[in-house]
Chain A
Amino acid sequence: MLELVEISLVLLALLTFLLCGGVWIAVSLMAVGWVGMQFVGGNIPAGPVLATTIWGNSASWSLAALPLFIWMGEILFRTRLSEEMFRGLAPWLNWLPGRLMHVNVLACGLFGSVSGSSAATCATVAKIALPELKKRGYDDTVSLGSLAGAGTLGILIPPSITMVVYAVAANASIIQIFLAGFLPGFLVMALYSGYIIVWSLLNPDKQPPREPAMSFRMKLRESAQLVPVMLLIILVFVTLIAGWATATECAAWGVLGSLAIAWWHGSLSWESFWQSVMGSTRVTCMIMLILAGASYMSTSMAYTGIPMALASWVDSLQLSPYALIAALTVMYIVLGTALDGISMIVLTTAVVIPMIKQAGFDVVWFGIFVVLVVEMAEVSPPVGFNLFVLQTMSGKDSNTVARASLPFFFLLVVAVALITIFPSIVMSVPRYFYPA
């Protein structure tokens, strides 16, 4: 019997080797789970454990929210929603320093409230905002950076695919994590808009002229464009908060509302309907196999006892909670350079959750922390998806886009620091609805 430390190192080396060798992430997780089981005494059969664990975790009521939220985003992406949001929001932001650049932040926030994907949010808003801002002579760097940064609001403001995956992996309540995302979402929006204001005040020469003035009634008429998306947001949030819907039900209502918007826009045909169905089926299957592999690896890890041993080792270090969070942030930033957000979450939760519980953090709070670090990964090279999206949409090279996003990356670090120092930013909303 090897020592736990040696087993952990063997498993870690194996995982790194498989992932780097181009083995599919889900398969690598299964392989590590299987090898982990070989170290466990007591003749626990590795195969039957695999089959029953994964069946038990996959035939799950709460997981059914996942395909529906993905589907909702697929449908909305194919509508004219982004155009309407730009025209509806623009007239109201003329007076702020930075002017229409705030549309990036607000539109992403709005779209994030109906979409669970950060790449989809970024792409949907950039599709219209990027050319419009360029035409009016806004600074490219801040415009690109704010789009990359604000796009990540898609996964911070509920609904969020990332949150569903975390909740399933960490065995936490999806609804509570959704509720916990609201205030941090506003916080990040405020940080972004604040940065744009400060930057504009410091660089008045880079400001394009004001838009022609509009009468109040004209502004209102333009804003009527926002009615569909507002109705959808209200539908989703009311079903979520009113408590008569679970997360899965809320997702189903969201799909219904999105189909209604697509129909209203005239972009709903049998062909586009099936395209959205098959697109979301594939994304769901991809995520589900990763979750399956991860659930097997977690089970195997639990048998070996590594997570608990690691948790008590970290506990014995007597780290302050702040030092622990700082260390974890660095770890996730490093992981984020190679892995996508979902793999990062499922890979680490099994090991990290016992550790943070022992340190006295709440799993719901940690969910928001994880979402924020995944957002950082989204806007940092080399595999940040938002950077890819903007790179091709703007035709700039990857360095320009990455450098433009850097300030917004640091604003996310600030957000992590703020929620760590003031945990009630995260916890007050879920605690209001679900007192501990």
Chain B
Amino acid sequence: MLRKVLDGLYLGAGYLAGAFMVAIFALMMAISIGREINFNVRAGDDFVSWCMAAMAFLGLAHTFRHGEMIRVGLIIDLIEGRKRWYVEIFALLIGCGFIGFFAFYAVQMNWQSWQFNDMSQGVVIIPMWIPQLGYSLGLVILLIAFVDELIHVLMGGEPRYEKPKPKTAEEVVEQAIQSGV
């Protein structure tokens, strides 16, 4: 039950991130075409920036669980068995620690924006805590995913953030493209 809820949370936030990317595309097209026909998308550039931040952080947990958060595999790939388990626990502990630290201060920043009633500076004035929600929420979900993995590996499970080694040519190409370079 809990498993289903958590997996749904990561995937749902991932879909939301995808939707924000489509929104960036739609906004950009509207701005670009709008300029030619004298239609001004009000504060379009602000909305694009906010969509960008929301997209970048809401999709993190899904990216992590999909095995696409990169790390240097050169040395740890040489380690196997029990020793590898210690390496994974070490990496996960550091990950939980710093993502937790990051998430805590992002939530704090978001909370303060709400408390002090920070407003956006642009053409359209809205409270800043609204666009910041994607940022803090995305990091909290990523933290949950990290803690989830730490517990899973501590209990002896196989890490789910590691993609299996590619076998077919299609898989290699897929992974190479996902490297972003």
Chain A residues close to B by CB (< 8 Å): 18-27, 30-31, 34, 47-48, 50-52, 54-55, 58-61, 63-64, 67-68, 70-71, 73-74, 77, 117-120, 122-123, 127, 155, 161-162, 244-245, 248-249, 251-253, 255-256, 274, 277-290, 292, 338-343, 374, 378, 382-383, 385-386, 388-389, 391-393
Contact = CB atoms under 8 A, between A and B. Distances in A.
B124 interface: no
A161 B76 CA distance: 28
Interface string B116-146: 0000000000000001100100000000000
B105 to A, nearest CB: 4
Given A58-B56, A287-B180, A256 B70 contact: no
A386 B56 CA distance: 27
Given A27-B98, A117-B180, A282 B66 contact: yes
A122 B169 CA distance: 13
B181 A285 contact: no
Contacts of A292: 56
A343 B56 CA distance: 17
Interface string B40-72: 000001001111110111011011001011111
Interface string B1-25: 0000000000000110110011011
Given A55-B132, A61-B49, A285-B63, A388 B91 contact: no
Contact of A24 (B53, B91, B105, B175): B91
B87 A64 contact: no
B108 A51 contact: yes
Given A51-B108, A60-B52, A122-B176, 5 more contacts: A55-B53, A61-B52, A281-B55, A281-B63, A285-B60
A24 B69 contact: yes
B72 A19 contact: yes
28 contacts: A20-B74, A21-B90, A23-B91, A23-B95, A24-B70, A25-B71, A34-B98, A61-B45, A64-B24, A64-B28, A64-B49, A122-B176, A161-B180, A162-B181, A244-B35, A252-B32, A274-B18, A278-B15, A281-B17, A281-B18, A281-B59, A285-B60, A338-B74, A341-B181, A343-B70, A374-B181, A382-B74, A388-B175
A283 B168 CA distance: 21
A123 B45 CA distance: 35
Given A21-B91, A282-B66, A392-B169, A68 B101 contact: no
Given A61-B48, A339-B72, A341-B181, A47 B176 contact: no
Interface of B: 14-15, 17-18, 21-22, 24-25, 28-29, 31-32, 35, 45, 48-53, 55-57, 59-60, 62-63, 66, 68-76, 87-88, 90-91, 94-95, 98-99, 101-102, 104-106, 108-109, 131-132, 135, 166, 168-169, 172-173, 175-181
B37 to A, nearest CB: 13
Contact of B179 (A18, A48, A119): A119
Given A63-B52, A281-B17, A385 B72 contact: no
B60 to A, nearest CB: 5
3 closest A-B pairs (Cβ-Cβ)?
A252-B28, A119-B176, A288-B56
B104 A284 contact: no
A292 B98 CA distance: 13
Given A23-B94, A64-B24, A393 B52 contact: no
Contacts of A50: 101-102, 105
A38 B35 CA distance: 48
Contacts of B68: 282-283, 285-286
Nearest to A18: B94
A285 B56 contact: yes
A51 B177 CA distance: 30
A55 B177 contact: no
Given A27-B95, A27-B99, A61-B45, A286 B180 contact: yes
Question: Most chain-B Cβ atoms within 10 A of its Cβ — which of A162, A286, A342?
Answer: A286
A55 B135 contact: yes
